[in-house]
Amino acid sequence: MTTLGLIRHGSTPWNQEGRAQGNSDIPLDEQGRGEAEKLAERLLHENWEIIYSSPLKRANQTAEVIAEQLNIDEIDFDQRIKEVAGGQIEGTTEEERIEKWGRDWRDLDLGIEKQPSVIERGMSFIKEIVEKHPNQRVLIVSHGAFIGHLVEWLVTTMNEDKRLDNTSVTILNKTEGKWICDLYNCTKHIV
């Protein structure tokens, strides 16, 4: 059984400002680096073997902190686990979107990546991970919206609508052909 540890990256300046990040390549801020260090200390006691990461800076930097603490020599970067592309809303706050496109901006075609595209690339990645790493514990450092879509698709019994927190850990296991969520949006290392 492959165990997946899905991790949302640490905090960024745009997180603090409430800006949509999407595929904009924003680095961690000081708080985000601290969160990543606390997460790495937590994971040190959980026996993880492999790390995959989105190539975007905020995920990459989070993965680097974890890999160093866990003495994992290599991080595998994969484009398929990048954040949901935000189109025209990237870099904007909710207030700016309402000012520019009105309160119903979500109903407009602003180039935001659609869920079927997110699921297609996410499932391609997950299938490959399960085939390459049977019976291993794999960390995947990615992004909130991407992880949220993926977990909702894989674990059909999930009814969580809560946004994922920075450096949260979500653990999935495949048992008898079904994905089970053993832990969701856990940030006990931050408290």
Helices 115-132 & 144-154 angle (0-180, nearest 10): 70
Each residue of 3-39: pLDDT tens digit? 999 999 999 999 999 999 999 999 999 999 999 999 9
- Residue 133: per-residue pLDDT: 94
Amino acid code (one letter) for 90: E
In this structure, what DSSP letter does residue 84 have? P
Each residue of 94-124: pLDDT tens digit? 999 999 999 999 999 999 999 999 999 999 9
The residue ranking higher by pLDDT, 176 or 189, is 189
First and final CA of the chain: distance in angstroms?
Answer: 31
List the chain domain ranges: 3-186
- Residue 156: per-residue pLDDT: 85
- Residue 88: per-residue pLDDT: 97
What homologous superfamily is domain 3-186 in, according to CATH?
Phosphoglycerate mutase-like (3.40.50.1240)
Is the CB of residue 170 less than 8 Å from the CB of residue 184?
A: yes
What's the predicted TM-score (pTM) here? 0.95
DSSP-derived 3-state class of residue 59: helix
Length of the chain: 191
Query: Residue 191: which pLDDT band, with cuts at 50, 70 and 90?
Result: confident
DSSP-derived 3-state class of residue 93: coil
For residue 126, give both structure tokens. Answer: 């997950």
Selection from 124, 144, 141, 122 nearest residue 132 by Cα: 124
- Residue 4: per-residue pLDDT: 97
The catalytically annotated residue of 9, 45, 133, 149 is 9
- Residue 181: per-residue pLDDT: 94
Query: Residue 177: which pLDDT band, with cuts at 50, 70 and 90?
Result: confident
Each residue of 139-174: pLDDT tens digit? 999 999 999 999 999 998 887 777 899 999 999 998
Let me know if 45 is a catalytic residue: no
Let me know if 143 is a catalytic residue: yes
The catalytically annotated residue of 133, 143, 149, 189 is 143
